[in-house]
Amino acid sequence: MSQYEELTTTMTDQQYLVEALTEMGYKPEVQTEGTALRGYGGVSWNRPVQVTIPREQLRGALASVGFGRDEAGVFQAVIDDLDRKCSGFDESWLGRVAQTYKERQTMAVAKTKGYVFRGRDVVQTPQGPKVQLRFAVR
C-alpha cells in the first residue's frame, strides 16, 4: 500500500513555485489557506498543502502531489512513495522544480533591481544541466 512522504525543499515563495510548475507544463491549484491532500486508496496527508498538482496532470502517477508550508514557511513536497520510486516524481524531479523556481526568482530580482538581461544558456555538466543567466549593470 502506498503512502504519502514529505520531501524537503528550500522554496519559500508561492508565486515562484506556481510559476515554476506552470513552466514545467502543469496547472497547479492554489489554496492559500491550505487543503487536505488525498491520495491513492484513500490515503491522506496529515497537514494542509497550499499548492497541488492534480494526479491527472502527472503522467503515470497514482496520486496528486502537494506542496505545504512548514512552521518556518518553507514549502515541503508531499509525494506518494510509489510515485517517487516508480513514476519519476523523485528527488531529481523535485530538483528540476527547484531549478526552475530559482530561475524565476533570479529573473524577478534582476528586473526589480534594474539589471539588464543579456542571455540564457543551458550548460551540460557531469552533474546535470545548469542554467546560466547573464546580466549587465544598467
Partner 1 sequence: MQEQLITIEIDEQGNSSIDLEGFHGQGCGDVAKDFRGGDSVTQSSKKREYYAQATGVKQSQQNT
- Taking the C-alpha atoms of residue 91 and residue 137, their distance in angstroms, rounded to an integer, is 35
Nearest to 32 by CA among 47, 49, 55, 16: 49
Kind plus residue range of the DSSP H or E element containing 81: helix 81-86
Q: Does 137 bind partner 1 (CB under 8 A)?
A: yes
Q: What share of the chain is helix, strand, coil (3-state, %, to 5)?
A: 35, 35, 35
The single residue among 59, 85, 111, 134 that binds partner 1, judged by CB under 8 A, is 134
The single residue among 32, 92, 124, 126 that binds partner 1, judged by CB under 8 A, is 92
Shortest spacing between CB 20 and partner 1, in angstroms: 9
Please state, in angstroms and as integers, the Cα–Cα distance from residue 120 to each residue in 67, 110, 137, following that order.
Answer: 28, 13, 16
- Beta strands 128-136 and 116-125 are antiparallel
Residues numbered 94 to 133 that lie near partner 1 (CB under 8 A) are: 95-99, 101-103, 105-106, 109-110, 113, 115, 118, 123, 125, 127-133
Print the binding letters for residues 11-50 with partner 1: x by CB under 8 A, - otherwise.
xx--------------------------------------
- Which spans of this chain sit near partner 1 (rule: CB under 8 A)? 9-12, 74, 92, 95-99, 101-103, 105-106, 109-110, 113, 115, 118, 123, 125, 127-137
